[in-house]
Amino acid sequence: MSIRKFDTKVQHLKYKVLREVAKQAWNDTLYDNLLEIPKIIVPGNKPTMRCCVYKERAILEERIKIAMGGDKNFSNPIEVIDIACDECPVGGYEVTNACRGCLAHRCEDVCKFGAISFDHNYVAHIDKDKCKECGACAKVCPYSAIVIRRRPCENACKVKAISMDENKAAKINDEKCISCGACVYQCPFGAIMDKSYILNVIDLIKNQEHGDYKLYCVVAPSISSQFIYAKLGQVISGIKQLGFHTVVEAALGADMVSASESRELAEKGFLTSSCCPAFVDFIEKNFPQMKQYISHNLSPMATIAKYIKKTTPNAKIVFIGPCTAKKAEIQKESVKPYVDAVLTFEELQALFDSRDIDITTLDEDVLDNASYFGRIFARSGGLTDAIAQALKEQGLDKDFIFKPCSCDGIEACKLALLKKSKGVLDANFIEGMACIGGCIGGAGCLTHGEKNKAEVDKYGKEAMEKTISEAIKIL
Amino acid sequence: MKITVCIGSSCHLKGSKQIVEQLRHFIEENGLNNMVELGATFCMGRCQKGVSVSIGEKFYSLTPENVNEFFNKHVLGEI
């Protein structure tokens, strides 16, 4: 990696697969060279990642399948590559050698399940059959001698959708999975991937020439924190060079959502946001009784896409963003007619490089439709700020007292929903973002950095339109 | 008659919002609400010549200064 475009080598490997698949697809040689791609990526006979090149190539074949759309029998865009799963040890709570065999035995006293016993050196042991993994012992040990050993994927999955199959490989429970992609980003072996629709997008671009449609790209505002090695205007030029007719900000859809969601909120008195598809999925799967409170607005992506298709009936739309759950969202009946495909920023990078487009050499194009408020939807708390602003702009803040609860990450969302369901939530609006930090923490981001929030705010301030009503006036 | 104004980024930066407001005003002033439909589209692919406006197959380059002239000639004149 000459320029550091990704956070991890796992992302880089996935990128190489996507880039190669795309390259072959542009040349119409994908099906002729399909079996050669693993060798192109792992040449020679010396392994660089696994026990032998044959295993490396076998796993690459699986990655190629997922890069080509993955298993069509399952709608979940998140898929496990079982042969890539390292079957990490799952110890649960374990006593380390920091245990000094003390007298106090707080661990034993606090354990409600009688799982702690002591050997002849008075060192604690945990009976796995009795342990319920409550963690109480780890909390009280004065030496911090008890630790939890969990698989990175299970640890990343805060909705507890990951377990082990009979071969100890990771298994996703689609009934619980919200497709947020946290496991994809966290698995150190790259054994979980998001299905790619990069081939659909290449087809859409190619067929545009003799098709009767124009291909629009709707881009998420979190793009301001991505492709940091180039200017945003150069990224826009790059997208157009790939063959898109034009690029429109999803943030303008966010402005439209803020305006109508604030009215819905003032009318109904309580609402949860509906922008984050993983959050909406989480409510539907875990708090069905709360479904009635979900805002009826489509997400900003779907809202702007709907508008584009209304005004330009021969438009086809590809959304590019940080999100793997968007790949599930566009399968919904309510969204399907508006968005034709979803790509992540990782996949956009692969597309650029499959065409040898070096965006740093391009002129800067413009991207300016939305307001500051639409743009800050990309980070946690931004949606709440936008709703407060929209209430104010529409004069709704006089009779309605806005009490927001911004939830940063799915665990915070769960807590707020739990409180609401028990009638003890002191708020009338829940902003739910499944990823920590909001969309800038999405699994499809190239990089995740400390400065991302500041980048989003900076981009927000650069918007020509300063208010939501000014931004949507034109529509 | 349908007038379509480009609201893509490039035209937006050149003032398509103002053009839309001026056209709305003229349409209202002349009582043409039932005869002239004002629409928008993202990008007509004529970014250099913005603000781009189309009536049917014909394209026009508008600025806040020449909207009046455009309206008299191509809207009132054709209706």
Q: For residues A139 and A153, give the distance between their C-alpha atoms in angstroms, rounded to a whole number.
A: 23
Q: Which of B17, B41, B42 sits opposite A473 (nearest CB)?
A: B17
pLDDT for residue A3 is more than 60: no
Q: Which two tokens stand for residue A29?
A: 């040689």
Chain A to chain B Cβ contacts (< 8 Å): 48
**What's the pLDDT score for residue A6?**
94
- pLDDT tens, chain B, 79 aa long: 999 999 999 999 999 999 999 999 999 999 999 999 999 999 999 999 989 999 999 999 999 999 999 999 999 988 7
Q: Which pLDDT value is given to residue B50?
A: 84
**Nearest-by-CA chain A residue for B19:** A474
- Best probe of the B interface among A256, A312, A472, by most B CBs < 10 A, is A312
- Band of pLDDT at residue A471, cut at 50, 70 and 90: very high
Q: Work out the mean pLDDT of chain A and round it to a whole number.
A: 95
State mean pLDDT over A5-10. 93
Q: What domains can you pick out in chain A, each with its CATH number?
A: 1-68 (no CATH), 73-88+150-195 (3.30.70.20), 92-149 (3.30.70.20), 199-472 (no CATH)
pLDDT score of A1 more than 70 = no
> Strands (DSSP E) along A119-258, which ranges?
124-126, 146-149, 162-164, 170-172, 192-194, 214-219, 246-249
pLDDT tens-digit map of A40-64: 999 988 998 999 999 999 999 999 9
Q: Residues of chain A with pLDDT > 90: what percent?
A: 92
Amino acid at A92: G
CB contact under 8 A, A245 and B10: no
In this complex, which of B12, B39, B45 lies closest to A369 when CB atoms are compared? B12
A248 interaction partners in chain B (CB closer than 8 Å): 8-9, 42
Peptide bond into A456 cis (omega under 30): no
Element (H, E) at A14: helix A9-26
Among A247, A249, A464, beta carbon nearest to B13: A464
B42: nearest CB among A236, A308, A366 = A308
Q: How many CA atoms lie within 13 A of A231 on its CB side?
A: 11
Q: What is residue B79's predicted lDDT score, i.e. its pLDDT? A: 78
Whole-number pLDDT of residue A87: 83
- pLDDT, tens digit, 9 for 90 and up, residues A407-426: 999 999 999 999 999 999 99
pLDDT recorded at residue A255: 98
Minimal-distance CA residue of chain B relative to A474: B17
Angle at A276 between CA A384 and CA A304, to 5 degrees: 85
Q: Does B53 touch chain A (CB under 8 A)?
A: no
Instruction: Cite the beta strand spans of A204-330 per DSSP E.
Output: 214-219, 246-249, 271-272, 315-321
> What backbone phi and psi angles, to 5 degrees, belong to A231?
-90, 150
Average pLDDT value for residue range A290-294? 97
Any A CB within 8 A of B54 CB? no
A191-232 confidence digits (pLDDT tens): 999 999 999 999 999 999 888 999 999 999 999 999 999 999
Q: What's the pTM?
A: 0.93
**Pairwise CB contact (< 8 Å): B13 & A368:** yes
Better-predicted residue by pLDDT, A4 or A214: A214
Average pLDDT over residues A307-321: 96
A52 touches B: beta carbon within 8 Å: no
A343 - beta bridge partners? A320
pLDDT digits (tens, 9 = 90+) for A358-404: 999 999 999 999 999 999 999 999 999 999 999 999 999 999 999 99
Residues 6+ apart with CB under 8 A from A399: A266
Cβ neighbors of A107 (< 8 A, separation 6 or more) are A116, A124, A137, A140, A141, A146
A143-159, pLDDT tens digit by residue? 999 999 889 999 999 99
Residue B8, chain A, CB below 8 Å: the answer is yes
Q: Is the pLDDT reported for residue A289 higher than 60?
A: yes
Answer yes or no: do B40 and A311 touch at CB < 8 A. Answer: yes
Q: Which domains does chain B have, with CATH numbers?
A: 2-76 (3.40.30.10)
Write out pLDDT tens, residues A431-447.
999 999 999 999 999 99
Closest CA to A347 of A40, A67, A43, A53: A67
Residue A437's pLDDT is 97
**What is the per-residue pLDDT across A58-102, written as a single tens digit (0 to 9) for each?**
999 999 999 999 999 999 999 999 999 988 877 789 999 999 999
